[in-house]
A = this chain, B = another copy of it.
Amino acid sequence: MSLFQFLNFNRRNTAPVARERLQVLLAHERAAVGHSDLVGVLREEILAVIAKHVSVDSDRVQVKMEKGEIVSTLEVDIEIPATASIRKAS
């Protein structure tokens, strides 16, 4: 399975898309006794970094967080209007 199938990007669709898409996947595999909430700590700041550079419509943002005993994950899926501009780092 390729990375993009996993991220279910529809590559066969060659028609110009009106929306762009940004997906972020974060996975933290802890030592048996380790940092408990690194994914939770990073979540807000990574969303803030993205919002700093692209105008994001909050109801086009899906965030899914799963905390397992050893592995925690964060999945963020953002639809970006193709017209949205990128703000370079100031």
Contacts and interface: CB of A to CB of B under 8 A. Distances in A.
Interface residues of A, number: 49
A12 to B, nearest CB: 11
A25 B3 CA distance: 10
Nearest to A33: B16
Contact of A24 (B25, B50, B52): B25
Contact of A31 (B7, B18, B38): B18
Nearest to A88: B41
Interface of A: 1, 3-4, 6-7, 9, 11, 16-35, 37-38, 41-42, 44-46, 49-50, 52-54, 70-71, 73, 80, 82, 84-86, 88-89
